[in-house]
């Protein structure tokens, strides 16, 4: 039996979920939680416990923190599904920005207001809106996976206004500036490369790929 509910007294129930046998001792493991309230609340907790067990998360609902979840997401989802450099960047954002601000909050109690406040605080500390936006995208993806793993009923990031990164306008060279650069590079081995860059607007990768 995967799980069951027993009535202890009026308005009090015990929810028990089978966790299988311990791989070392072979003993049967169970998770037991007490619920005060209506039976439907105990039934809802049973469903949540079963979903969490099937997702491989050991901490029971009400105790799994954002930090615990993000670590599991990094190791079980991000690492096998992203390039090493992408994973390293994700781990850095989690370690430096998300966990210090949100890590102690219980996952199921995370609210949009918590997240919105973090982005505001990041920018007040002098971090760029672009950094906050990267954190938002990472957190939204991670919490969406929590929804798919049935650890959350909805993604709190969906109700958060993401930070807006200011557009950077690259100043164009004046004719005199362009001519000065061409003159300086003309007698070097980079002359042709600089000439093509100024007259065509090709990007560095495109220029270096020419034969």
146 has pLDDT over 80? yes
- State which H helix or E strand residue 189 sits in: none
Residue at token pair 């060279």 = 173
Q: Specify the range with the lowest mean pLDDT, choosing from 56-60, 129-133, 145-149, 193-197.
A: 56-60
* CA distances to 48, 68, 107, 182, 183 from 3, in Å: 11, 24, 23, 76, 80
How many angstroms separate the CA atoms of 98 and 91, rounded? 10
**Contact in structure between 33 and 14 (CB atoms under 8 Å):** yes
- Asked if residue 162 lies in contact with residue 136, where contact means CB atoms within 8 angstroms, the answer is yes
Q: Is the pLDDT of residue 69 over 90?
A: yes
Q: What is the pLDDT of residue 59?
A: 52
Sheet with 3-9, strands from edge to edge, namely 3-9, 12-21, 28-36
Most confident by average pLDDT, 42-51, 100-109, 134-143, 170-179: 134-143
Picking from 161, 48, 152, the residue whose alpha carbon sits closest to that of residue 105 is 152
Three-state SS annotation for 150-164: CCCCCCHHHHCCCCC
- With 0.75 as the threshold, say if the pTM is over it: no
Enumerate the domain spans of the chain.
3-54, 66-159, 175-208
At the top level of CATH, which class does the domain 66-159 belong to? mainly alpha
Rounded Cα gap, residues 14 and 5, in angstroms: 6
Residues 61 and 108: beta-carbon distance below 8 Å = yes
Phi and psi at residue 153, in whole multiples of 5°? -80, -25
Tell me which of 22 and 200 has the higher pLDDT: 200
Contact status, residue 182 vs residue 195, Cβ threshold 8 Å: yes
């Amino acid at each position: 039996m995967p799980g069951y509910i027993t009535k202890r007294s009026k308005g009090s129930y015990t929810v028990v979920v089978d966790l299988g046998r311990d791989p070392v001792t072979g003993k049967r493991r169970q998770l037991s939680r007490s619920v005060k309230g209506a039976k439907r609340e105990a039934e809802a907790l049973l469903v949540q416990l079963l979903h969490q067990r099937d997702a491989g998360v050991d901490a029971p609902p009400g105790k799994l923190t954002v930090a615990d979840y993000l670590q599991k997401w990094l190791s079980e989802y991000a690492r096998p599904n992203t390039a090493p450099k992408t994973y390293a960047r994700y781990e850095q954002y989690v370690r430096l920005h998300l966990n210090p601000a949100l890590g102690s909050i219980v996952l199921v109690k995370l609210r949009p207001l918590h997240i919105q406040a973090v982005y505001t605080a990041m920018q007040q500390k002098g971090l760029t809106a672009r950094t906050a936006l990267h954190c938002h995208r990472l957190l939204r993806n991670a919490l969406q996976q929590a929804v798919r793993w049935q650890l959350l009923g909805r993604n709190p990031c969906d109700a958060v206004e993401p930070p807006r990164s200011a557009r950077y306008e690259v100043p164009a060279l004046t004719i005199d500036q362009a001519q000065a650069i061409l003159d300086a590079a003309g007698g070097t081995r980079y002359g042709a490369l600089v000439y093509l860059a100024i007259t065509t607007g090709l990007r560095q990768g495109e220029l270096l790929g020419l034969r």
